[in-house]
Structure 1
Amino acid sequence: MARLALVLLALLVATLVAPIRGDKEVLVLVENTNYASTHSLFFAQLSDAGYQLDVRAADDKTLRLRDWDTWIYSKLIIFASAIHDYGGAVDSELILEFIDSGHDLLIAVDSHVSDELRGLIGDLGVDVEPKGSAVRDHVGYVQSGGEVDHTVIASGEYGAIDGLFSSGPPEASTVFQGIGMSIPSDSKQVLNALGGSSTTFSALHETAITDAPNVAAAELALVAAIQARNNGRVVVAGSTAMFSNAFWRGPLQQHLGTKHAAPGNRELCIALVQWVFHLRGQLWTSGLRHHRVGETQTPAHYRVSDELEVSLDIKELVGGVWQPYQATDVQVEFVMLDPYVRQTLSPTANGTFSTTINVPDVYGVFKFVVDYARAGYSTLELSEQVPVRPFRHNEYERFIPSAYPYYVSVLSLMAAFVLLDFLFLYRK
């Protein structure tokens, strides 16, 4: 009894001492303390949204992401482009494990990106241009206060990502200064949230453009959004300056003469943060419901050729409120090794998706499967196993219409046999 009391006391002490993980706790790793003033508007936006920011130097020797099996933070922001070694117990392998466990990461780099961060971003499926490269635009550059710098550009090439821009992309262009990235053309998890215009390219500093490796606008990504298979999210921005106060405030005049009362940086950065922190593009479902047409209860099994009704409710998180989700590309499959039936679910105004399917004339163990993956939205994976049995002996039709000719032939044969017997026996 005394030993049990000691064990309980130890557990209580460990609970009180151990850090408590919450969805609002964010670790921010910065390169130097200047970010607290140069990016104060961005950090204030996060604080106003209720996030508890722990701003630390990236090489702080006391850094920890995890305490034994408990993650201390639920989200991570890295604004330390040139950092070569993290402090404390943090390294790239731990950050990847952090993402694999379903947590979120926001990284912003620039032309001084270190090999450490290049490797981490490469493991996430995004290729960063060589160190020292910069995105340039000799047509769409931005000038502020009479200064001209062709590496400060304005781009309005926002990606068509419904989950990221719930009410449409920003109307104003985003001011960008940093390094370019490229996304593999066959990637399904990595999305181009902001690309360059037709005159934007990437090249090394102080090198003739004809001699430097460069990336054209068609392949250039300025901001990449990554939706992991476990619904963890990552945003990689090629510019730390785009989050700064100077790029949020404006006004900035584009070389083409367009006057921006304010650039689209604030709106874009807020959208990126809300998306990566699962406040946008988040789907929820109540699960599958299925029964025979005309019934309401789910039976223990189905019979071949049954007509079934399948439905589920899907909600989308919009502005912190769950609202009915509307889409026309949600499908359900009836699978036994291979799909025997694949049907598109019809939506209603209240977010209920439903359809009717016919059980194939094959008995065995089937599964209802919904595997919904749409760019910018969290994935939905549902499956439910159901047995399908054949007809019982007393469930077959007694008279089959297609067999009527055979019935008539049998009856005619019997009638002919009786008539022949009658004539044989009674004819004189």
Structure 2
Amino acid sequence: MRLAILLFGLLAAATADRILLLVEDQAVKDSHSIFIKSLTDRGHKLSIRTADEPTLALFKHGELAYQHLIVFAPGVEDFGGSLSAKEIGRFVDAGGNLLVAASSNIGEAIRDLATETGFEFDEADTALIDHFNYDSKLDNGQHTTLVADKSQFMNARLITGDTANMNPVLFKGVALISDKTNLLKLEAVRAKSTAYSFNPDQAISEYPSAVGKQALLVGALQARNNARVVLTGSLAMFSNEYINAQVTKEGQKPVPSGNLAFVTALSKWVLKESGVLRVKSVEHHKVGEKKPTEYTIMDEVEYAITIEELTDGKWGPFQGKDVQLEFVRIDPFVRTTLKNTNGRLTAKFKLPDVYGVYKFMVDYRRIGYTHLYDVQQLSVRPLWHTQYERFIRSAYPYYASAFSMMIGVVLFSIVFLYHKDSPQTQATQAAAKKKD
């Protein structure tokens, strides 16, 4: 019994998601203990290391040593070990997920890392400032402790959580700017139009580098290999202080902050605990049959795909109603929306009157979900000569002309063979013979 329990424990440890959490100092374990505990409570295996430790490595024997990387070390100038912005970029390219939280005390290592992912943090010692949307109790008078409400969140429940019922979120830190050429960017939380980025200890002598909704509180992206990245300029947003705080805006009643709900939803998405889809099974066959056989043009076919979604660590039926199927040769010949019945999505249609090599293709891309792509190839042959219709409607004029000619020949033959001359004609013919 003990051996079975030990083996089960070793198996669970081997299959659990491994997270590397990089911090500037061990004090982060106390100041951010609620968020860190939420990670371990959800079954992740967490390794907390200082960001400049000389033995750090993301790969071991060419394989990922960790599935996820969280960087809570905004002030680090150089990563330790083999870590660098390019190495972390290679980690994402290999399928690893990345969460980065910065602050106004931002180092070049974090700024280089943001650039590697298609974003940019503002310069060190700058902060996002808003003189109209700040917490009147927690702010130090510089109006850098911002209050983000639901109007600033993108409409993506899987990434930002249930923002319609979420309390305001506290934010304090450096502004994030997205690259316009970054086609994969997701502007998860934007600043208000009254916000701007500048050094709060200096007088404004030049135009700020980020103004209004151009500045981001939280940015995200999902790479083409489904790896996920989240960047935010506020490490304080994850802290116990902000999670337990009461949000107090000028002239409004204090309410509990929504930071815990928000950072939980955000971390679940980036750690692939939500928004993950997979194909369980695919089948296709002629209507009335149960196994795939050879297909002929104009056949009635039925297609079914079973899709599952990962929810709270368990796979369950995907309930999406907007999954489409394309029947493709070079271009789609058929495009139809699949009917979802508890995760089993089906469609019936007639094959086109063109033979060739086709594909059943499902290419599902939606914000918050992993890219779902499934292709099933098949051949569609032309009709056998015994399968063609004996009489084709479009050829009826030709049939009529042929039969009319046949009838004309018969009538002419009858007239020619059985026609008799009149007596007067016969007498004339006889007189002509005597004369000769």
The TM-score, its normalising length taken from structure 1, stands at 0.89
| C-alpha distance in structure 2 between counterparts of 1:290 and 1:423, whole Å | 64
Seen in structure 2, the aligned counterparts of structure 1 residues 89 and 147 have a Cα distance that, compared at 3 Å, is closer
CA shift, 1:304, in A, is 1.8
1:17-36 alignment runs, 5 A limit: 22-36=15-29
Q: Indicate yes or no: 2:280 matched with 1:281.
A: no
CA shift, 1:205, in A, is 3.5
Give the AA of the match of 1:336.
R
Which of 198, 205, 230 does residue 200 from structure 2 map onto?
A: 205
| C-alpha distance in structure 2 between counterparts of 1:166 and 1:317, whole Å | 16
Moved more, 36-45 or 64-73: 64-73
Residue 70 of structure 2 is matched in structure 1 by 77
CA shift, 1:361, in A, is 2.4
Residue 224 of structure 1 is matched in structure 2 by 219
The TM-score, its normalising length taken from structure 2, stands at 0.87
Name the SS of the counterpart of 1:288 in structure 2. strand
CA shift, 1:206, in A, is 3.2
Which of 108, 115, 118 does residue 111 from structure 2 map onto?
A: 118
1:395-414 alignment runs, 5 A limit: 395-414=387-406
Paired residues, what number?
A: 406
Seen in structure 2, the aligned counterparts of structure 1 residues 145 and 388 have a Cα distance that, compared at 3 Å, is closer
Residue 388 of structure 1 is matched in structure 2 by 380
1:73-152 alignment runs, 5 A limit: 73-144=66-137, 147-152=140-145
Seen in structure 2, the aligned counterparts of structure 1 residues 146 and 339 have a Cα distance that, compared at 3 Å, is closer
CA shift, 1:131, in A, is 2.7
Q: Indicate yes or no: 2:58 matched with 1:65.
A: yes
Seen in structure 2, the aligned counterparts of structure 1 residues 287 and 185 have a Cα distance that, compared at 3 Å, is farther
Which of 339, 344, 362 does residue 370 from structure 1 map onto?
A: 362
CA deviation map 1:57-111 (0-9, x unaligned):
1001121222222322221110111211111122222211211111211110112
Q: Report if the CA contact (8 A) 1:143-1:149 is conserved.
A: no
| C-alpha distance in structure 2 between counterparts of 1:210 and 1:160, whole Å | 36
Which of 256, 259, 265 does residue 254 from structure 2 map onto?
A: 259
Q: Report if the CA contact (8 A) 1:275-1:281 is conserved.
A: yes
Name the SS of the counterpart of 2:159 in structure 1. coil
Which runs of at least 4 in structure 1 moved beyond 3 Å after TM superposition?
Answer: 20-23, 145-149, 165-170, 184-188, 204-210
- Unpaired runs of at least 5, structure 2: 1-12, 421-436
| C-alpha distance in structure 2 between counterparts of 1:288 and 1:200, whole Å | 50
Q: Report if the CA contact (8 A) 2:160-2:188 is conserved.
A: no
Residue 243 of structure 1 is matched in structure 2 by 238
| C-alpha distance in structure 1 between counterparts of 2:367 and 2:222, whole Å | 8
Give the AA of the match of 2:371.
T
| C-alpha distance in structure 2 between counterparts of 1:336 and 1:379, whole Å | 22
Moved more, 272-281 or 397-406: 397-406
CA deviation map 1:189-229 (0-9, x unaligned):
22122222232222233344462324233222111121111
CA deviation map 1:260-316 (0-9, x unaligned):
1x10111111111111111111112224322122222112x3222222222211222
Q: Indicate yes or no: 2:172 matched with 1:180.
A: no
Q: Report if the CA contact (8 A) 1:162-1:375 is conserved.
A: no
Q: Indicate yes or no: 2:50 matched with 1:49.
A: no
Larger Rg: 2
Seen in structure 2, the aligned counterparts of structure 1 residues 173 and 367 have a Cα distance that, compared at 3 Å, is same
Name the SS of the counterpart of 1:87 in structure 2. coil
Give the alignment's Cα RMSD to 1 decimal. Answer: 2.1
Residue 427 of structure 2 is matched in structure 1 by none
Q: Report if the CA contact (8 A) 2:134-2:249 is conserved.
A: yes
Name the SS of the counterpart of 1:77 in structure 2. strand
Q: Report if the CA contact (8 A) 1:21-1:71 is conserved.
A: no
| Identity within the alignment, % | 37
Seen in structure 2, the aligned counterparts of structure 1 residues 396 and 329 have a Cα distance that, compared at 3 Å, is same
Name the SS of the counterpart of 2:158 in structure 1. coil
Seen in structure 2, the aligned counterparts of structure 1 residues 95 and 186 have a Cα distance that, compared at 3 Å, is closer
Q: Report if the CA contact (8 A) 2:153-2:163 is conserved.
A: no
Give the AA of the match of 1:172.
N
| C-alpha distance in structure 2 between counterparts of 1:338 and 1:182, whole Å | 38
CA shift, 1:420, in A, is 0.7
Seen in structure 2, the aligned counterparts of structure 1 residues 83 and 202 have a Cα distance that, compared at 3 Å, is same
Seen in structure 2, the aligned counterparts of structure 1 residues 161 and 233 have a Cα distance that, compared at 3 Å, is same
Residue 344 of structure 2 is matched in structure 1 by 352
CA shift, 1:354, in A, is 1.8
Which of 298, 301, 304 does residue 308 from structure 1 map onto?
A: 301
Q: Report if the CA contact (8 A) 2:360-2:377 is conserved.
A: yes
CA shift, 1:258, in A, is 3.5
Seen in structure 2, the aligned counterparts of structure 1 residues 51 and 129 have a Cα distance that, compared at 3 Å, is same
| C-alpha distance in structure 2 between counterparts of 1:191 and 1:39, whole Å | 26
| C-alpha distance in structure 1 between counterparts of 2:138 and 2:212, whole Å | 27
Q: Report if the CA contact (8 A) 1:39-1:243 is conserved.
A: yes
Give the AA of the match of 2:275.
G
Seen in structure 2, the aligned counterparts of structure 1 residues 426 and 145 have a Cα distance that, compared at 3 Å, is closer
Give the AA of the match of 2:357.
V
| C-alpha distance in structure 1 between counterparts of 2:39 and 2:414, whole Å | 103
Name the SS of the counterpart of 1:148 in structure 2. coil
Seen in structure 2, the aligned counterparts of structure 1 residues 347 and 184 have a Cα distance that, compared at 3 Å, is farther
- Unpaired runs of at least 5, structure 1: 1-19
Residue 6 of structure 1 is matched in structure 2 by none
CA deviation map 1:161-207 (0-9, x unaligned):
13225655552111000111122456442212222223222223334
Moved more, 158-167 or 241-250: 158-167
Q: Report if the CA contact (8 A) 2:79-2:109 is conserved.
A: no
Name the SS of the counterpart of 1:98 in structure 2. helix
Name the SS of the counterpart of 1:409 in structure 2. helix
